Amino acid sequence: MEKRGRGGKSSPIQHLSQPTPPQPRKERRPSMFEREAYAQILRERLRESVHDVQYIEPPFADSVADLGKEWRGALAKFKLASSYRMQPLKKFQAHSVETKVQQILKESLKDVKYDDKVFSHLSLELADHILSAVKEFGYHRYKFIIKVLFIQKTGQAITIASRWIWDVAWDSWVAVKHETETYVALALVFALYCE
């Protein structure tokens, strides 16, 4: 017979002594130090990648260290020998770029009225157009940052400032303003020399 305590309930000791049903074991993650698992981990990471990556399947007979070298070698960038050039072949000429950007702004914005929705797309298009025009000058090893701002005229004052750490001898910038009755368009071109 079963012993019952007060109130006719079974004792808590009996509940603890009942065996719990076995739970399924979790599958362990593969270690990156196992030869087959390392290649599998690389394949999974590349599959989830959003970049356009070229991958060469490494041979499985090699060691794990060789697998990593092979994989890194397949993704390596094309390397060029250093020329040790400390100055550009042709220095950035701000006045010629300024006239070209002024011409682009005049042609693109001659009949345009202020509209926020139109200007959000127009600023990107103008920046791309200015960048391609500046690249045609052929400044070797210069990187360009183009910023196009549209400011509606409502009687306000505005100050725009930019700060950079750069080489005063080779880096430069250009600011071009195009003004109409309803807005002001400001194009900033930063030219940074990369050694």
Q: Which domains does the chain have, with CATH numbers?
A: 94-156+165-193 (3.30.1140.40)
Taking 90 as the threshold, does the pLDDT of residue 51 lie above it?
Answer: no
Please state whether the predicted TM-score (pTM) of the whole model is above 0.75: no
Instruction: Name the nearest CA neighbour of 192 among 150, 164, 162, 153.
Output: 164
Q: Give kind and range of the element (H or E) at residue 146.
A: strand 142-152
Mean pLDDT of all residues in 31-39: 66
Centre a 10 Å sphere on the Cβ of residue 183 and count the other Cβ atoms it contains: 19
Residue type for position 93: Q
Q: What is the pLDDT of residue 52?
A: 47
Region of poorest pLDDT, from 56-65, 72-81, 169-178: 56-65
Q: Which residue has the tokens 């009225």?
A: 113
Mean of the per-residue pLDDT values of the chain = 78
Centre a 10 Å sphere on the Cβ of residue 139 and count the other Cβ atoms it contains: 19
Higher pLDDT, 108 or 42: 108
HSE at residue 103, side-chain half, CA atoms within 13 A, is: 8
pLDDT tens digits for range 8-31? 555 555 555 566 666 777 666 666
